[in-house]
Amino acid sequence: MSILARTLRPAAATVQRGVAHNAFARTMATYDSYNTLLVDVKENVGVITLNRPKALNALCDELITELNDATSKMDVDDEVRCIVLTGSEKAFAAGADISEMQTKEFVDSYRKNMFKDWTEIMGVSKPIIAAVNGYALGGGCELAMSCDIIIAGDRAKFGQPEITLGVIPGCGGTQRLVKAIGKSKAMEMVLTGKMIGAEQAEKDGLVSRVVPAAELMDSTMETAKKIASFSLPIAAMCKEAVNGSYDLGLNEGLRLERRLFHASFATKDQKEGMDAFLNKRTPEFTDL
Q: Are residues 252 and 189 in the same domain?
A: no
Q: Does 224 reside within a domain?
A: yes
Instruction: Write down the pTM of the prediction.
Output: 0.87
Domain boundary among 198, 213, 228: 228
Same-domain check for residues 243 and 262? yes
Q: pLDDT per residue over 51-89, tens digit each? A: 999 999 999 999 999 999 999 999 999 999 999 999 999
What pLDDT is attached to residue 219? Answer: 98
**153 and 259 part of one domain:** no
Range of the domain at 180: 3-228
Active site residue 162: yes
Query: Got the DSSP string for the chain?
Result: --HHHHHHGGG--PPP------SS--B-------SSEEEEEETTEEEEEE--GGGTT-B-HHHHHHHHHHHHHHHTBTT-SEEEEE--SSEEE--B-HHHHTT--HHHHHHTTTTGGGGGGGG--S-EEEEE-SEEETHHHHHHHHSSEEEEETT-EEE-GGGGGT----SSHHHHHHHHH-HHHHHHHHHH--EEEHHHHHHHTSSSEEE-GGGHHHHHHHHHHHHHTS-HHHHHHHHHHHHHHHHS-HHHHHHHHHHHHHHHTTSHHHHHHHHHHHTTS-------
Q: Mean pLDDT in the chain?
A: 90
Q: CA–CA distance from 177 to each of 32, 135, 141, 149, 180 (Å)?
A: 33, 16, 9, 14, 5
CA distance 63 to 125: 21
Query: 162, 172, 186, 228: which is the annotated catalytic residue?
Result: 162
Provide the pLDDT for residue 28.
58
Of 94, 96, 201, 236, the catalytic one is: 96
**Starting at the edge strand that comes first in sequence, how are the strands of the sheet with 45-50 ordered?**
37-42, 45-50, 82-86, 128-132, 149-153, 209-211
Whether residues 142 and 265 fall in one domain: no
Residue 210, classified by CB atoms within 10 Å of its CB into exposed (0-12), middle (13-18) or buried (19+), is buried
Whether 285 is in a domain gets the answer: no
Structural domain includes residue 286: no
The verdict on residue 268 lying in a domain is yes
Last residue of a domain, one of 201, 228, 255: 228
Catalytic residue among 46, 95, 138, 139: 139
248 in the same domain as 209: no
Is the domain of 219 the same as that of 108?
yes
Whether 288 maps to a domain, the answer reads: no
In a domain, 284, yes or no: no
Per annotation, catalytic residue among 66, 79, 142, 202: 142
Known catalytic membership, residue 96: yes
Q: 161-207: per-residue pLDDT in tens?
A: 999 999 999 999 999 999 999 999 999 999 999 999 999 999 999 99
The pLDDT value recorded for residue 238 is 97
User: Using CA atoms, how far apart are residues 241 and 63, in angstroms rounded to an integer?
Assistant: 29
In a domain, 84, yes or no: yes
Q: Is the domain of 118 the same as that of 89?
A: yes
Which parts of the chain sit beneath pLDDT 50? 1-26
Does residue 89 lie in a domain region? yes
Same domain, 53 and 112: yes
Residues 145 and 244 in one domain: no
Residues 92, 150: Cα–Cα separation, whole Å: 11
Count of domains in the chain?
2
Looking at residue 117, its pLDDT comes to 87
Query: What b/e string do you get for 255-280 counting C-beta neighbours within 10 Å, with b at 16 or more?
Result: ebbeebeeeeeebebbebbeeeeeee
Q: Are residues 41 and 154 in the same domain?
A: yes
- For residue 171, the domain's CATH number is 3.90.226.10
Comparing CA positions, the residue from 37, 239, 264, 233 lying closest to residue 146 is: 239
| Claim to verify: residue 216 and residue 253 sit in the same structural domain | no
258 in the same domain as 240: yes
Residue 266: per-residue pLDDT: 97
Is 152 considered catalytic here? no
What is the CATH classification number for the domain harbouring 247? 1.10.12.10
